[in-house]
Amino acid sequence: MIIKFRRIGAFVVGCGVPLLMGVPAMADRNDPIPVKQAEVKVPVLRPGDRGKEVERLQRGLRHGRYYFGKINGRYDEQTKFAVWALQKSHKMQTRGAVGPEIWRALDRRLRTRPLVPNGPANRVEVRLRDQLLIVYRGHRPELISHISSGAQRRWCLKGRCGDAVTPVGDFRVNRLAPGWTTGPLGSMYNSLYFVGGIAMHGSTKVPNRPASHGCVRVPMETSKRLYAIVGMGEPVYVRQKW
């Protein structure tokens, strides 16, 4: 697939040498000579693209703690989820296309206001409004993930009913379930329970909207890293607004 490039700035001559514009004959020799900026090519990537530029994107996302999959040069679903996480953390609209705004964001250190400013150095924050999960280590983001939380509706299944709500509050991880577990409401991977039957867990379905029965779904590759760094007793702070 051909990767398109968006042009920024003006044109160049030779090997990146800026073209100097001509000076009018009557101009004062002390007037500044306008110089057009060199052309900068920014790759525009979309889901399904492949190649070295996608590898560069994946490496940037991994460096920013958004991506935990393979560096394979394929703009697959896991890469898209990481792009969403970056967009959410920088207050951008979530979309699959990666343009100049994303490349600039990859070059900037994330500065986001924590949910719990005076919280412990190591903690998990779940931001329901933004559908975003952040794991802190030493007060610094170590993992930033797109999530899908409770769908905020009533559900009934085989005579059992409940509300698809992710509870808000201060919790701690109180139970771990490695690998796949299957219950009446579906399958979960690498589950970290923090209140009752509500857990943070990997899922093959993490849409760009709240869609779970109350759990906090994270992408599969991210769930492996999440399970590796978060343990029993870890503080979990869930907020709707802050």
Q: Is the pLDDT of residue 28 over 60?
A: no
The predicted model gives 233-240 an average pLDDT of 97
Output the pLDDT for position 10.
Answer: 36
Between helices 220-229 and 77-89, what is the axis angle to 10°?
60
Residue 6 pLDDT level (bands cut at 50, 70, 90): very low
So where are the chain's domains? 1-13+43-111, 123-239
Cα 200 from Cα 135, distance rounded (Å): 12
The predicted model gives 91-105 an average pLDDT of 93
- Look up residue 95 and give its amino acid: R
Cα 23 from Cα 15, distance rounded (Å): 23
pLDDT in tens, 167-197: 999 999 999 999 999 988 889 999 999 999 9
Q: Is the pLDDT of residue 109 over 70?
A: yes
Output the pLDDT for position 36.
Answer: 46
Instruction: Looking at the structure, give the CATH architecture of the domain made up of residues 1-13+43-111.
Output: Orthogonal Bundle (1.10)
Q: Is the pLDDT of residue 8 over 70?
A: no
Q: Is the pLDDT of residue 126 over 70?
A: yes
pTM, two decimals, is 0.81
Share of the chain above pLDDT 70, in %: 82
Cα 195 from Cα 215, distance rounded (Å): 10
Q: Is the pLDDT of residue 235 over 60?
A: yes
The fold of the 123-239 domain, in CATH, is L,D-transpeptidase catalytic domain-like (2.40.440)
To the nearest whole number, what is the mean pLDDT of the chain? 86
User: How many beta carbons lie within 10 A of that of residue 18, not counting itself?
Assistant: 16
> Residues with catalytic annotation?
201, 215
Output the pLDDT for position 178.
Answer: 98
Output the pLDDT for position 171.
Answer: 99
Reduce the DSSP state of residue 82 to 3 states and report it.
Answer: helix
Reduce the DSSP state of residue 222 to 3 states and report it.
Answer: helix
* 200, 216 Cβ separation under 8 angstroms: yes
Cα 170 from Cα 2, distance rounded (Å): 48
Q: Is the pLDDT of residue 31 over 60?
A: no
Share of the chain above pLDDT 90, in %: 69
